[in-house]
Structure 1
């Protein structure tokens, strides 16, 4: 039951990114003119020749929010009912998907009411990869031990990961800026765009990616030289492979003029990118009981034991 709830939550959090991408790439952002009803006095969409499939694409994205809510509630239930031995920290973390989904839904309402203003569309997207990251930590925590949290890699690896995660979030932010300056506004009509040169935005995004890759390479060197735990190495190498693939897709979409299918693949990569960063972070610590006193996996000072 716990595994179903936590895996389902992570997959649904990734899924809402893809359904949101479908809304944007099909120009269905204003397929429903109001919120929470699709049209005034009409909760569900109706097919018309003028609107086509746009109301159904937009309403489908809203419906998936309901699925997210169900899984978020399930995560909360299992964390309190069956996973109490994971400690108070785990139970507090279990609130994040539900709170984040509620904030996401409210922000989505303002996005519609303000006609897809980019100042709201970008934060609306960024909430989702953050929730993917928290959901991944919950999942890793499920399969780890039940003891006090301890450092599982050298301190310099922890410092590198913190910098890596910060730059990774900047990469995501700049990615939304690139989208906000590009052709995929989210609606077929006139929509406010970010007043920035798309080429400049793309180059800034690429520079952030290069910095991220440099930090990831440094982290891999430190992990190998310190003979870090296998779990941390596996997660870091998966992140490296995913980052490389995401970079290839990014260059392809740029040189092909941002075709919808390639942009969609890039957004799939963004969901996996955020989750994989969190996977690496969760593997730099462990909740397993130490094999013997005095190991190099020192207890984290100032961190709540459970």
Structure 2
């Protein structure tokens, strides 16, 4: 067999150049996902949830809030504007990721998919506008094109498919989030839709954190870097964290901060839920203390981030107790929401560090 017929061997992972622009934008994307939780919380806590009464327009006649909508309109539209910032950052990270792992060709394919999605969206909009569903039909068609483009990119990426998948997840998630936000407005801030909106935002914070962690890690097979028992207990800790966040979302959804003064919560007893929310929270704290002690005693690679997780959860508990005893002041409730997202992001990094690259 001649040398010319032999397929080229991919260069080692270190030959891939993830330049400073990509790393900076990836961090900005993470920070923007955290910030939008804060701005979304501000919308809810200032009673501005219906500051814009329509979606995607702010009013039936205007994209931006009118003077008569006052402060609430500005707050709500500010959060919508932040969604645009998050989307632009997610798109930039995606294109730079595709360019780094596969070159310009894969970026151009993604652009063609996007153009096709816009055309399909325009057709869907025209077909459903009379029924008042044009915006949702357009968004659905565009999101479908993003999913198709993501599948195509992952299949064609010669390496670092983990980063490609994560970058596409962020972009698709941001788009889906915009639609969920619209549903929240159109359902008059239904507590379950609003709760799902927050939970989805929290998951996007975790995905951007995972991207940052994987960006610094080399490509290739990975092996467990901690004892099996520690890995199992870490995943159990994740269940406790998920339960804490779930009951926290239900508690907030049943509390006084409904997002608009004219909306009154009914259903669950917020006082009872506040106690139920605390139970997995204290279990979570105990599990993290145990894992941290083991990690430091055995010099495990999770020890630093486990310490960060302990600090985040400790502050979270203190804020939660204070807000419960002081009548749920808006600033503390908003802080509690952001801390929950940061805790989940930190836990994501801990989980990813349970494994390490196989020594070559």
Whether 2:133 is the aligned partner of 1:113: answer: no
- TM-score normalised to structure 1 length: 0.89
Whether 2:299 is the aligned partner of 1:227: answer: yes
Give ranges in structure 1 of 5+ residues lacking alignment: 293-306
- Assess if the C-alpha contact under 8 Å between 1:2 and 1:78 holds in 2: yes
Rg (Cα) greater in structure: 2
Residue of structure 2 aligned with 1:33, choices 47, 53, 60: 53
Distance in 2 between residues matched to 1:154 and 1:226, nearest whole Å: 10
In the TM superposition, 1:20-59 aligns within 5 A as 20-48=40-68, 51-59=69-77
Return 64-73 or 75-84, whichever deviates more. Answer: 75-84
Residue of structure 1 aligned with 2:94, choices 76, 92, 97: 76
Distance in 2 between residues matched to 1:286 and 1:134, nearest whole Å: 19
Q: Secondary structure at the match of 2:262?
A: coil
Tell me the equivalent position of 1:302. none
Alpha-carbon spacing, 1:86–1:248, altered in 2? closer, same or farther (3 Å):
farther
Tell me the equivalent position of 1:238. 308
Higher relative CO (CA 8 A, sep ≥ 6), structure 1 or 2? 1
Tell me the equivalent position of 1:211. 283
Return 149-158 or 56-65, whichever deviates more. Answer: 149-158
- TM-score normalised to structure 2 length: 0.76
Aligned residues: 285
Distance in 2 between residues matched to 1:13 and 1:150, nearest whole Å: 30
Distance in 2 between residues matched to 1:107 and 1:245, nearest whole Å: 30
In the TM superposition, 1:1-306 aligns within 5 A as 1-48=21-68, 51-83=69-101, 87-191=160-264, 193-229=265-301, 232-287=302-357, 289-290=358-359
Q: Secondary structure at the match of 1:286?
A: strand
Give ranges in structure 2 of 5+ residues lacking alignment: 1-20, 103-157
Q: CA RMSD in A?
A: 1.5
Following TM superposition, by how much is the alpha carbon of 1:7 offset from its aligned partner in structure 2, in angstroms? 0.4
Distance in 1 between residues matched to 2:64 and 2:184, nearest whole Å: 18
